[in-house]
Structures are given as C-alpha cells and as structure tokens.
Structure 1
C-alpha cells in the first residue's frame, strides 16, 4: 500500500515494473489454471427449464411498490473526519385502472400523473462515522438507538408502529395458535459485547419493545434481531450497515402494509400486487430473518393469498438474463434450477441437500421474457425452497407475471413503471441532493 500525502511532499506512486513478479510466479500460474468460469451463453441449454407464459385474468386492482435510497454526507472533512447517511423510503400506491386510463389518454395532464405518485415517505438520518448521538456512549449504541426509535415512531398513517409490526413478525403473532417456539427468538450475538446468544422471549418484552440483557442488565431492543451491531466498528465507522438498513426498512414497510390489510380487510389482500426493488431474501447479518418470511409466506398462502414480486436491476442473474435473451422465446419463463444456477451463473459447488441460497432466500428467482421482448429477473415468494422448482411450486406465477408484463416502462432497459416511479420519488442523487444535504447537515449540527 502506497503512502498518501497531506502536505507539500508528493505521494508515493505505485511501481511500474512489479507486475513481472506476479506474471513469472509459478504458483500464480497454477492458481489461474485451477479457476472455473461458467460457460458462455452460447453453450446454455434451456429447453427443459422453459415453460410457456399464460396471461391470466386476476383479481389485482392495486399496485404497491416499496423502494428506498440513501446517500453518505460528510459532516466534517479532513482529520478527524465525520459522516452520516440520509435514508429515504417510500411506499408508492396506484390503481391499475388509473394506469390503463393514462395509457389510453391522448394528452396526459399533471393531475393524471399525480394519481400514480401517491407515496408515503419515511426519512432517517443516521450518524455513521466520527459522530454519535449526544445521549449515547458509543457509535454502536448510537446506531442501535437511532434505528430503534425510528421504527417506534413511524406508523405509515396507521395506529401501530413499524416496531409493533416487527414484533408481530418475529413472534408470529399472526397465527391463531402459536407454539412456545413461536413466542421466542434466539439472537445470535449480544449487542453489548457479551459472549453467547440471547433468548428473547415475548413474555419478557416490555411495552417499549425492549428486553433486559441477562449479563449486563442493559436494554436489548427488539430491532437488535437484525444484528446490525455486528457491522459497526468504533474506529472505522458504520458505513457497512447502510445497505442492511435499507433492506430492513423496505421489508418492514412491506410487512406493515400486509399486516394492516390482514387486520382491516383481509379480502383486499388478493387485490394488491406488492413489488420490491430487490430479491426476496434477507442477506448478511439479517439472513436469519428469511426463516420468518418463509413461515409468513406459508400462512398467507394458506389463510389468504399473496401477490408479490422482487425485481432485480443488476447483478449476476441480470447479466446472465441479458446474455441469453435471444435464446429465450418471447412469452416464456425460465425456471432456474440449482444445477442451472451453479453451472451458468454462480460458480460454486451445488449443495446436494439444500436449495440454492437456502439460508437467505424466501422466494425463487425466474427469468421472464415478456411477449414484447423485455427480460426480467423476478423473485417470487414460496412456501418452501426447492432445488428444481416447477411452475406449480411458485404460487400465482402467471398472475403476477401478467401484471409484470402490463407494467412495463420504456424509460429504462427492462424497467417496470412502479419501480421506476418509486425510485424517482425517493432516491437521493449525488448532485444536487447530496450537496444540498451536506450543507444542511453541516449547518444543523451544533
């Protein structure tokens, strides 16, 4: 690693000739020979995995798209530096009939577009480096308490908070009959640094959704189930939690809407298509939550219904879909088996027992080429993950894809209107948003 320079002396430049030590090293050559690369798309065989898309009449009348965005803003530059993240989330809702009316209009009025922009926004400022809350002794405590209070405060115009919905989700309070295991959650790590796991029992939870640490006697918040404290370093900061926070809150907003529909008008659940701008999975330190999502999926499919899709816009699956576009006939669904994923997309060894991403996903990915030629990577919730899923194993497959095709948007490559609109309404651009937020934050911090 080269030396940097903050003064008059030049910085240390990298060597222009050291590469020959790597090129001439026999162990490096052997390592390169041992690499496996997935075969190119012209060697892909799809016939056994393709099924024909069948457009379906559905009961869906509404679309809800959940998305979020965040940006890092410096509070102080130079040394010691300080920074924070601003998050913004939104749940966009519109009626299918408004979209159809808009498509048939010769002239689009501003009030017509406003019908497609009915959005609830949530805003979260989070100190992530070189700064902490004045009422907290550490950055870890500051991050934990900020997220906890945010979830306790936000209600999305309902009478219950996002934190209350988290309790409903974690302790399976949606079930009419619960087991003792349903009423507890094993937290994989203690947020106060003590060794071992912590058993969080619903009976021990206070009215403020907190528990007492059995070792330190300090509070453990219900929001600690996401284990974000494991990604906070006092010296280097908490920037690593930003992506996790985004996923956590987007999921909780979605769960909050589903929960309140079940409470107030469960029949309406079968009239709503939910879309999230991410795969149907929990990742990294939050991955253990996928088990709860699979349980909730099963309950919803058995007791009510669920129409939900996760859309991916980047990553290995999207790149693979683009490479095989001409091999997939229009109006076709490519059902991705484990063998296919490990052979052509993810260069790993297939687990002979567990399905692909069984420790994080609660849905199956499919590649869909619409009748208009657009390619989509869609994740769809299931009751159980399988190594070789069939169309019948993915509930509401054709019904959901009927609306994915209907909601296509020509603004971007293979885009969907709800996702594009939600992203426009909540995303924070590098310019001018981050510059304005920088000036706002620096002038506001005492």
Structure 2
C-alpha cells in the first residue's frame, strides 16, 4: 500500500514498471492460459425460455420512483463526511408516453409530460465528524432519519411517515396491533433490550429505559452505527427505504381514495423489489398487502428493473442465445447454483428479503431486462400464475420502451434524469454548498 497524501507532501505513487515482472512470471502465464476459456454449464444451454404471454389490455397510469446520493468528503481536518440524498416519484400515463419518439425524444414533449407530475424529496445525512450540538453522531443520525421521514415540506406533507405507518401497522387490514418488538436504540450493547410502539404511533417512550424512541428505530438503522461514525451504507439504505415508501405512498393514496382505479396503475421501481438485512421486517407486511389486495379483487401491478448486478450480468451471458419475445422465470436452485454460485442447500433465495420474483425478458436483441414482479405469499419456485398481474405488466412494456439505451424503459429513464446526482458538477456544487453553510 502506498503512503497517503498529507498536508505538506504528496502521496506515494505506484511503480510504473511493476507489471513487467508479473507478465513475465511463468506461473502467471501458465494459469492465464487455462483461464482464457469461457465455460457455460450444460444446464444453461438447455434452458427452456417461454414465449411471452398473449397481449392483454395495457395499464393506463404509471408511477415510477428513483433515487440518487452523493457522499461529500471534506478535505480539511477533521475530515468530515456527509451524504446528500434525493428521491423522486413521477406520474405518467401510457397515452402521453406513446407520443414520445423512443429514439430521439423531443425535449418539449418531455417537458409537457413532466410538468406538474414530479414529487421529490431531498435530505442530508451526517456520516463522520458531523453532529448536532449536544448530541453524538449516533443520535444525530437517528434524529435526522426520523425528521427526514416526517418531511413536511410542500412536496411531501408528511405522506411518507403516513405510508411507513400504513405498512408497519398493516392499516389496510383490521389489525390494531403495535409494532413487533425491536432492539431499543439506547440498548445497542444489550441485545436483549427490546421495545415496541403502540398502534399508529410514530414515536413514544421505551417501557424499559424510559427514553424517546421513533418508528424509524423499528427499521433498525441504529444497528449499523457506532457512537462516533456511521458507514456510507446508512445513506444508501435510507435511499432504498425512501424510494420504497415513496412508491407505496402513491399506491396507498390510490388504495384509500381511488381503489377502483388502482388495478389500472403500473408502479415501477428502479432496482429490485427487495429490502435486506434488519430492514427486511417491512417485507412480510408488503407481501401480506399484495395477497390481501389480490384476494379482494384489486390486484396491484408493480415491477422493479435491475440494471446492474449479478442477475443483470447473467442475463448478458444467456440473452444472446435466447429466442426473441420470450421470458425465463428463475427458480431457487438455478439462482443459487448459477447466479449466486453457492450451495443449493440452506434457506430459499429471498425468503426473508424479496417481495418479487426474478424473471428475464427478451423483447429483441437490444431489449433484454431483469424484472421483478411481486407475488403475495412467498414462493420458493414461483410459476407465472403466481406473479400478480404479470400478463398486463408484460403487455405494457412495449408501450414504454426507450431506444436510447439497451434494455431501457422510458419511465425509469425520465425518473433517473430527475433524481440523479452527477459526480460532476453535482458533487462539486454540493461540496461547496455544504462548506458554505458551516
């Protein structure tokens, strides 16, 4: 490892000639000769892709959510770090999207579509050497997350908090139960110090220690933090949670006010339909809601698209040989064996974390996609009929394809344009902004 740059002297640079010895080393040459062979298991060559289902009536209204973040590291001692986060929700309709040229969309047409259709949220989380006077970084982050979820700005008006309570307390049902027990943020060194909140509460007093707790503590952010610093994953997890809650806010409002129209909506998330680690306690209520809505005669049409990661990479491996207008619904054993590359024993894939099944779709050689479509009750090996509304979702996809990028969907492309924070100039400007406020 090189010496790092200090306040007076530059950092140590790596050797410009070190690779020559590696390239001339006999063992490296021998091993590399063996490695240069692309291996495709026979099972991957004999996969049966299914033809896309017959077209049905397309969905009329589209809600799509995306998010972005930029971590800002300040160069001067004490080297503080903060993370800016932005999420955005777009409301679109397929009739308007059909007017957009999929190859060269006219900016005025896009402007007309986006006018008064965007809801966005922004916040900032401290990560290192940044705190509120009189509090530790640990407490500052807890407070910041809670007040960010409670965002009462005109864009949000407290709707995200209402949605979190709607999911956590299962308010679509007749349940009046409090939150399941969770680890108290004031007892993070004592794993047995559990607490809860009564029905419909967003904050309260811990019955064990008497300190104030928030509904956001139920999610478990405090389990990933120390007293004096937090990992960058806190910011990315907050972004994912907020994206999910923002999308479900649109769903909740339709459920409460326009239930007759909810099955004409397509809810799209940029990324997988999953929530990991301790935050996955939201997954089971979400699954229960999908099942409840389906059995009540109001199926929810939702999908997520994965644009990177191991499933995306595997599709690039398989896709060129797959027939056009086909799909592959992935099963537990195949995922473990060929994508995760782990033993097929153990817990089923996604049992605690996923509320959607994975499937590959190939429209043509330029539009191959990794999609997630929800089931209700968890299915280890889902079948097409287990995926809620999958025929109408797949029928809608040709209406929203963009030809500007491979495998692109126009709603996600538009959401990304609004929500994304670029490395340049956004990162530089946010750094100057944060420094000017101190």
TM-score, length of structure 1 as denominator length = 0.85
Aligned to 1:186: 181
Q: Which runs of 5+ in 1 are unaligned?
A: 25-31, 33-38
Aligned to 1:142: 140
Q: Which runs of 5+ in 2 are unaligned?
A: 32-37
Match of 2:204 among 211, 220, 225: 211
What is the alpha-carbon distance in structure 2 between the residues aligned to residue 160 and residue 444 of structure 1? Answer: 26
What is the alpha-carbon distance in structure 2 between the residues aligned to residue 7 and residue 91 of structure 1? Answer: 43
Distance 1:4 1:438, change over 3 A: closer
CA contact (8 A) 1:367 1:377 kept: yes
What is the alpha-carbon distance in structure 1 between the residues aligned to residue 213 and residue 108 of structure 2? Answer: 48
Alignment deviations for residues 154-191 of structure 1 (CA, whole Å, 9 cap, x no partner)? 4775765311221111111110x22x6x4331214535
What is the alpha-carbon distance in structure 1 between the residues aligned to residue 427 and residue 103 of structure 2? Answer: 37
Give the deviation of 1:407 after TM superposition.
Answer: 1.3
Aligned to 1:243: 236
Match of 2:436 among 432, 440, 443: 443
- 1:220 paired to 2:219: no
CA contact (8 A) 1:364 1:385 kept: no
Match of 2:194 among 185, 188, 198: 198
Match of 2:292 among 291, 299, 317: 299
Match of 2:83 among 61, 85, 91: 85
What is the alpha-carbon distance in structure 2 between the residues aligned to residue 384 and residue 8 of structure 1? Answer: 61
CA contact (8 A) 1:72 1:83 kept: yes
CA contact (8 A) 1:171 1:202 kept: no
What is the alpha-carbon distance in structure 2 between the residues aligned to residue 252 and residue 106 of structure 1? Answer: 32
- 1:391 paired to 2:384: yes
What is the alpha-carbon distance in structure 2 between the residues aligned to residue 339 and residue 155 of structure 1? Answer: 47
What is the alpha-carbon distance in structure 1 between the residues aligned to residue 371 and residue 430 of structure 2? Answer: 34
Aligned to 1:341: 335
What is the alpha-carbon distance in structure 1 between the residues aligned to residue 411 and residue 110 of structure 2? Answer: 15
Match of 1:270 among 263, 266, 270: 263
Aligned to 2:305: 311
Instruction: Give RMSD over aligned pairs.
Output: 3.0
Q: How does 1:13-24 map to 2 (within 5 A)?
A: none
What is the alpha-carbon distance in structure 2 between the residues aligned to residue 64 and residue 251 of structure 1? Answer: 12
Aligned to 1:53: 52
Aligned to 1:94: 92
Aligned to 1:329: 323
Q: How does 1:114-193 map to 2 (within 5 A)?
A: 114-116=112-114, 118-134=117-133, 136-154=134-152, 161-175=159-173, 177-178=174-175, 182-188=177-183, 190-193=185-188
> What SS does the corresponding residue of 1:185 show, helix, strand or coil?
coil
Aligned to 1:374: 367
Distance 1:146 1:232, change over 3 A: same
CA contact (8 A) 2:221 2:234 kept: yes
What is the alpha-carbon distance in structure 2 between the residues aligned to residue 49 and residue 191 of structure 1? Answer: 53
Alignment deviations for residues 10-47 of structure 1 (CA, whole Å, 9 cap, x no partner)? 86788979x99xx99xxxxxxx9xxxxxx944634465
Give the deviation of 1:105 after TM superposition.
Answer: 12
What is the alpha-carbon distance in structure 1 between the residues aligned to residue 186 and residue 57 of structure 2? Answer: 46
